[in-house]
């Protein structure tokens, strides 16, 4: 597997970029739902927004994790050629 990754760093970079986009898309979706949400009462609103906040922060952490991988690991793989 390591040889495959070292021989195809562009494919690895595409996979990392797709994962970053998925994380950002998840954050944008949750942010939109938080802003436009309509709830029956305040308790329901607080409960649902707490869940959506956690998912949105998770999406940002997911995207930033793959950003760090792209920034730190891919140049190391490309320098071995």
Tell which residue, 28, 53, 29, has the closest CA to residue 45.
53
Tell which residue, 29, 36, 35, has the closest CA to residue 56.
29
Q: Does the pLDDT at position 6 exceed 70?
A: no
Q: What pLDDT shows up at residue 40? A: 83
pLDDT digits (tens, 9 = 90+) for 15-55: 999 999 999 999 999 999 999 988 888 999 999 999 999 99
Q: What pLDDT shows up at residue 10? A: 80
pLDDT digits (tens, 9 = 90+) for 48-73: 999 999 999 999 999 999 999 988 87
**Cβ-based neighbours of 43, under 8 Å, separated by 6 or more:** none
Domain boundary assignment for the chain: 2-79
Q: What pLDDT shows up at residue 78? A: 65
């Amino acid at each position: 597997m390591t040889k495959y990754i070292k021989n195809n760093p562009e494919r690895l970079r595409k996979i990392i970029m797709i994962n970053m986009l998925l994380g950002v898309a998840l954050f944008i979706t949750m942010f939109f739902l938080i802003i436009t949400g309509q709830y029956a009462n305040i308790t329901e609103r607080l409960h649902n927004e707490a869940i959506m906040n956690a998912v949105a922060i998770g999406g940002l952490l997911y995207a930033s994790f793959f950003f760090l991988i792209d920034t730190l690991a891919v140049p190391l793989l490309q320098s071995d050629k």
